Amino acid sequence: MSAGSELSERYDRQMRISGWNQELVSGASVLIAGVGALGCEVAKNLALSGVGRIVLVDRDVVELSNLNRQMLFDESDIGRKKAEAGAEKLRAMNPHIRIEAYPSDLRDLPAELFASVDVICSCLDSWGIRRWLNSVAVLNNKPLVDGGIEGMVGNVQVVIPGRTACLECHGTTLIPQEERMAECTLRRRRPEELIEDLKAQGLEISREQAEALFRHNLKTVFDLKYTPPESVPDGEVRSLLESIREKLKPRMPAVQSVSSVIAGIVSTEVLKIIHRGSIGRPMRGLLVYDASNSRFTRVPLKRMENCIVCGQVDTSPPEVTLEDGATVYRLKEVIAERFGFPDAEVIHGTRVLGEDAPLSSVLGPSGEGLLYVVTTRRYEPLPIVVKLRAPGDR
């Protein structure tokens, strides 16, 4: 059997779908961020469909507790990098496609990689990194299909840059309240405060442990709850974080059946995007699945013209007005509250501004100027116009 006839037979059933174009599918490339319960299913679906190039990104390793819902792994994979083990299984499922594995943090990947794919899939469980990936997709004008699951609930949102709402447009409404608090908590604290906060939660850590956590920017209870352990390079601190997280925030409940439902929707939306509308238009808004009550709910989402990610921030940067005499730290407080950047650094020219520096020394006699905010929640620096309010002005 020739290669062409073998592929025709392999994809025969899907090629019978009205509007299906296997050449488009075989010529497409998709990046999947997160190879957990959702990412495994999405990767499997797209590989079996014959998507020509699939890029897997995940720095985590396989654990025994993954095996109830992450179908690309078995017991022989425990301790292996998920991206590499998953790629191996996908190549065995379909040897006619190209699989690339990146067992690293998303934020460490070269910019060219994101520009080289046609669609980006977010299968992540951390809101902070999802915000970062959303900004990358918008910057590169790449469609993003974002999926999430927790227990018996799942959701899907498709982002078409410039046409639909991105994840940032309605983030303050859609992020769970506790995670919103984590995102807007400024981190100028002392180790003693973290020790006291944990003691109030029934946990005790030493001063040395608190200082080690601080060195990795883990300064609040919220940081400890929502920072993925795999993002901490120091093995000893990572183990400490894992033990604290398990007591503060037990691991998220998950079941394979719900992962399969959401992954099926995510995969279908990716294929619709690849087909450019010939098998259906990509969904708009947010789709929520409540498995307990067998209910799907569509939530309309309007694109926000003033969104700091998909809006026109380069031509009309957001403005922040502060009282005369305000310091850089006061500006950081406002940035955390308004934009949800808990780790912002403020830049003027090529210089990172110290927290105690008065803004007047930077902005000069006019009391107004353009500064840039750098954060792990956004790929590019955010330009903002800062104005100082003269005494007596409101």
pLDDT in tens, 259-289: 999 999 999 999 999 999 999 999 999 999 9
Least confident of 53-57, 63-67, 178-182, 233-237: 178-182
Least confident of 47-56, 113-122, 143-152, 316-325: 316-325
Dihedral angle at the C-alpha atoms of 217, 221, 226, 228, nearest 10 degrees? Answer: 50
Using 50, 70 and 90 to split pLDDT, how confident is the model at 189? confident
Per-residue pLDDT tens digits for 130-187: 999 999 999 999 999 999 999 999 999 999 999 999 999 988 787 766 666 666 666 6
Could you give the C-alpha distances from 264 to 144, 191, 261, 271, 294, in angstroms and in order?
A: 16, 45, 5, 11, 16
Residue 40, judged by CB atoms within 10 A of its CB (0-12, 13-18, 19+), counts as buried
Token pair of 73 as six digits: 């792994």
Least confident of 49-63, 112-126, 184-198: 184-198
Average pLDDT, stretch 326-339?
90
Q: What is the per-residue pLDDT for 249?
A: 66
Provide φ and ψ at 86, rounded to 5°: -65, -40
Could you give the C-alpha distances from 41 to 87, 152, 209, in angstroms and in order?
A: 13, 17, 38
Per-residue pLDDT tens digits for 250-267: 667 888 999 999 999 999
Distance CA 52, CA 270 (A): 13
Q: Strands of the chain (E only): list them.
A: 29-33, 53-57, 98-102, 119-122, 144-150, 153-159, 286-290, 295-299, 319-323, 345-348, 351-352, 368-374, 382-389
Per-residue pLDDT tens digits for 81-100: 999 999 999 999 999 999 99
Contacts of 50 (CB under 8 A, 6+ apart): 7, 10, 11, 22, 25, 26, 94, 96, 97
Q: Are residues 76 and 62 in contact, defined by beta-carbon separation less than 8 angstroms? A: no
Token pair of 279 as six digits: 């098998």
> Could you give the residue ranges of the DSSP H alpha helices within 103-174?
111-115, 127-139, 171-174
Domains of the chain: 3-179+253-299 (3.40.50.720), 186-248 (no CATH), 319-389 (3.10.290.20)
Residue 103 has pLDDT above 60, yes or no: yes
Residue 317, judged by CB atoms within 10 A of its CB (0-12, 13-18, 19+), counts as middle
